[in-house]
Structure 1
């Protein structure tokens, strides 16, 4: 076979695909469990075989050259097919693994405490719970994902599990004491715990929006403590540090255990929700159906908003 027809090594192709996806030698090294130097060397080997520069440094990091971009889509598809073929061979030998991806906050606050029940009712399925902040590539090793958003997930078949509604929560200790919370106007005596919101999602209701809905005007929302994750604000509320806005998906277990209470009835709806995502060609796969139906059942038991199938 000529040099032009010979495939480069899988190691160098995998190193380049990972670098191209995360645009960082360091993050690629962490993902592949090798050193940064090893990743850089594999990319150089591939560039030598291809005969072109694939990745170049910029003032802010890395970027792909035109040659690097040219084959990236097909390369990703190729690795996706390899993963699926390997999974099919493994499952045909008797092992059935279900890989579910979730955001860290949702996994920690809701999914982890329930996943054991799925395993009990489906002993033939092993489950790998993978967490990441970004929506995963469903053509690779991940079977399905649970993601928060508006429902627009290109390349995936989404099922709305439950919508998001925002309301205040606090420790039951704040219902008594020197300034007991009996009505929304009593918030003037308590610390407001805020979520430092992503500007890409400007429609998320903050304290000002909730107080307007509750008809309260005398509470200053410019002070308090800010958090970059709702789960952190929730833990501060559990510890009696103040009052925060939350959702049932994040606060369900703390509310059920009595560590948090909802002092008021007013809720503000949002255009967001939690979605179950899978590939369109896997919608009817038995293990996908089993996990999706289990999620819907657990969401209903948790008192979350009833799902709407396939949006």
Structure 2
């Protein structure tokens, strides 16, 4: 006689606690509370409590506890164990499949426009050469990313590095330096000395209005003890990138963050005519959610970022050099 078909139970509220089921499988596989606790990174006392909780839920003893000997599963435990082992294996397989599908997707990176164009993008070809299968999707914004709402896996942000609830690590310290085109070294007022600054156009990055660490001519001139400069003259830009590009085009002299002009200084599109680099309060930081930090995609990208940041900070010819004026005599 055929037994009537019974649909599998799907009411999760009827399940015993998952921690108790895990503890049961670990004890059955390892033969003791101590070794099960080591496998699950909890104390033997916690394992014993979870086993008693499961026995109370089922209504029967699961292990015979003979003093001085390994725990022996009861007949009920032996019937229960294979299904749980298979169930946990299915759960792990489902998680692995999800992880594999996520790892195949492009890494979504949120970054400020100026940093993306002047530092990150020129280096991405080296990332592709090393990992041709690794794709990225870059979204530029000056807003702080909200990982609970925005579609971003990680971000590179300029700031103090204190982002509540997130993993944050410094990539690059930054300095403020005056920069201009080499063309401004020629003409009736060559810009090879700070005394000739009044004869040239100041290019302003208006980011200082919302960010106290942004390059600001008033603060820089005061630090350099320079007076008599009309700070109302010269074009103003709401993006650092535009002020830098105007300087490259020979339209005047700009104050810039060293990270954003390091490549332009190294290849001669810009020079640092005078003045000492001034370290700013903020730095560039890598940011992501803590539980995503050790995923393969983020680890691959972060390790590459660390290498590139270290090479950038140590590169000759940038504003980090001990004597930036040496560029003029090269």
Alignment TM class, shorter chain as reference: 0.5 to 0.7
The match for 2:245 is: 235
Greater RCO, 1 or 2 (C-alpha within 8 Å, sep 6+):
1
- Structure 1 unmatched runs, 5+: 1-84, 307-311
Match of 2:121 among 107, 112, 127: 112
The match for 2:309 is: 299
Aligned runs of 1:1-311 on 2, under 5 Å? 89=98, 91-92=100-101, 95-139=104-148, 141-303=151-313
Alignment coverage as a number of residue pairs: 222
Contact between 1:185 and 1:218, CA under 8 Å: does it hold in 2? no
TM-score, reference length from structure 1: 0.65
Q: Relative to structure 1, is the Cα distance of residues 225 and 92 closer, same or farther in structure 2, using a 3 angstrom cutoff?
A: closer
State the shift of 1:87 in Å: 11
State the shift of 1:173 in Å: 0.6
Distance 2:96 2:182 in 1: 49
Contact between 2:205 and 2:238, CA under 8 Å: does it hold in 1? yes
Distance 1:131 1:157 in 2: 20
Q: Which runs of 4+ in 1 moved over 6 A?
A: 85-88
Cα deviation digits, residues 101-147 of structure 1 (max 9, x gap): 11122111111111121122123422222222222232453211111
Distance 1:180 1:207 in 2: 20
Distance 2:174 2:102 in 1: 41
* Rg larger for: 2
The match for 1:27 is: none
Contact between 1:185 and 1:219, CA under 8 Å: does it hold in 2? no
State the shift of 1:205 in Å: 4.5
TM-score, reference length from structure 2: 0.61
1:276 is paired with a residue whose SS is strand
Distance 1:167 1:176 in 2: 20
1:290 is paired with a residue whose SS is helix
- Structure 2 unmatched runs, 5+: 1-93, 321-330
RMSD of aligned Cα (Å) = 2.6
Cα deviation digits, residues 263-311 of structure 1 (max 9, x gap): 11412221111110011112222322221121121122223699xxxxx
Q: Relative to structure 1, is the Cα distance of residues 218 and 274 closer, same or farther in structure 2, using a 3 angstrom cutoff?
A: same
Cα deviation digits, residues 8-54 of structure 1 (max 9, x gap): xxxxxxxxxxxxxxxxxxxxxxxxxxxxxxxxxxxxxxxxxxxxxxx
Distance 1:136 1:268 in 2: 28
2:122 is paired with a residue whose SS is coil
Contact between 1:166 and 1:268, CA under 8 Å: does it hold in 2? yes
State the shift of 1:198 in Å: 5.0
Cα deviation digits, residues 144-180 of structure 1 (max 9, x gap): 1111111122232111111221010000011121100
Contact between 1:91 and 1:97, CA under 8 Å: does it hold in 2? no
State the shift of 1:189 in Å: 0.7
Distance 2:98 2:151 in 1: 13
